[in-house]
Amino acid sequence: MFRLIRTLITRKTLLTTIRRWSGMQRMKTKTIGLTLILCLAAGAFCFAADDPMMGTWKLNEAKSKIAPGAPKNSTVVYATAGDQIKVTVDGTDADGKSVHSEWTGKFDGKDYPVTGDATADMRSYKKEGKDTLEMANKKDGKVAVTGTIVVSADGKTRTVTTTWTDAKGAKVTSTGVYDKS
């Protein structure tokens, strides 16, 4: 009888130990999964924080050479939007009317829709090194504007040089200099 009681106690203890260990394993798995998700999110945040393009940029009209009749983008904001980048532009068009456009995509050279820009319905950005972007605006599948965006070595200014063909067929170039705010 004593043996039977000791065997039952030993089995009960063994089962209790197995259940506790199993519960701990589930808790460890949940903890590891949560830690992995947090690390990935932090990594994505750090990636965007290391990108010199990110942030709010204000037009420095004194340093810029805006072509006559060209739009003035007074504020440009680059921000993360999940695993993509959102570019928000506020300024005035050639007639002095307020404009607001938004683009969300990746700096991978592929076309993504742009809203609020009367001259473009698609835009692409392609990273060329850490501090340079190549840009192309398209309207109805045709390239309307090309540009190069370069951030200074100190990360405080960026220069945007855009080129397009005007209504008379002449090539027009405009240069905007922006200060990071």
In this predicted structure, the answer to whether residue 89 has a pLDDT above a threshold of 80 is: yes
Residue 59 pairs with which residues in a beta bridge? 178
How far separated are the first and last CA of the chain, in Å rounded?
Answer: 83
pLDDT of residue 46: 42
Structural domain count, the chain:
2
Tell me the CA distances in angstroms from 5 to 2, 8, 9, 56, 86, one per residue in order.
5, 5, 6, 75, 70
Q: What is the pLDDT of residues 41-61, one digit of tens each?
A: 444 444 445 899 999 999 999
**pTM score, whole prediction:** 0.72
Could you tell me if 7 and 84 lie in one domain? no
How crowded is residue 55: how many other Cβ atoms within 10 Å of its Cβ? Answer: 17
Q: Is the per-residue pLDDT at 69 higher than 90? A: no
- Measured CA to CA in angstroms, residue 76 lies from 5, 139, 156 at distances of 78, 21, 14
Same domain, yes or no: 63 and 134:
yes
- Residue range(s) defining the domain that contains residue 23: 1-50
Q: Does residue 86 share a domain with residue 7?
A: no
CATH number of the CATH domain containing 106? 2.40.128.20
- Same domain? For 90 and 176 the reply is yes
Q: What is the pLDDT of residues 113-159, one digit of tens each?
A: 999 999 999 999 999 999 999 999 999 999 999 999 999 999 999 99
Do both 25 and 73 map to the same domain?
no
